[in-house]
A = this chain, B = another copy of it.
Amino acid sequence: MPNPKTDPPAVQPQSEHIDQSHLIGSVGYCCLQAYLEIVPNIRKQLAKLQLRPVEYTVLSLINSNPLINQKRLGQTIRVSPPNLATLLDRMQSDGLIDRQRNPNDRRSQILALTPKGQETCRKAENVAAKADITPTLTDAEREQLTRLLIKVFHP
């Protein structure tokens, strides 16, 4: 006779899918799971240009926002000043970006893309657009989804 206190429970063949019912109400959990589903392909494609996702993001934001400084860039992508400094060091030594002190306030650095950075950014935007795939969504659903996500993180 089995003793439920000490015996392992009888094993049933597991059903196909896991019950995540207590988690899928959480926007945070769902955002993370969706991100982890999508990002490996983006990472793989961007690696062909020797870029990681965050570096692509930096290139794109500098390209779209001339004269942006490190403070505003870091706030936008949620990277702390020390970590952004070392990231930009690397991108600068890779020849992708330039940093120039703002003549009106020499504390801040004005960021710009080098010609190589511009070219890499252009290629990366093409690559990333193709790699960011969500095959289970219709175009309308995808637009709806990004619209709602933007509403969450605000811009």
- C-alpha spacing A72/B19, complex, angstroms: 11
Chain B's nearest CB lies how many Å from the CB of A6? 10
Chain A stretch 68-113: residues in CB contact (< 8 A) with chain B = 68-69, 72, 76, 78, 100-105, 110, 112
Tell me if A119 counts as interface (CB < 8 A to partner B): no
In the bound assembly, the distance between CA atoms of A153 and B40 in angstroms comes to: 13
Q: Indicate if A17 sits at the interface (CB-CB under 8 A).
A: yes
Contacts known (A27-B38, A128-B26); A19 close to B64, Cβ less than 8 A: yes
Contact between B34 and A27, CB atoms less than 8 A apart: yes
Chain A interface residue bracket vs B: 35 or more
A42–B30 Cα distance when bound, in Å, is 13
| Residue A36 CB within 8 A of the other chain | yes
When the two chains form their complex, are residues A137 and B141 in contact, meaning their CB atoms are under 8 A apart?
A: no
Whether A18 touches B68, Cβ cut-off 8 Å, given contacts A34-B149, A35-B28, A38-B31, is yes
**How long is the Cα–Cα vector from A78 to B151 in the complex, in angstroms?**
27
In the complex, the answer to whether B33 meets A78 with C-beta atoms within 8 Å is yes
Residue numbers in B under 8 Å from A149 (CB-CB)? 27, 30-31, 33-34, 145
The B-contacting residues of A in range 123-140, CB under 8 angstroms, are 125, 128-129, 132, 134, 136-137
User: 4 tightest CB-CB pairs across the interface, nearest first?
Assistant: A30-B149, A31-B35, A33-B153, A34-B152
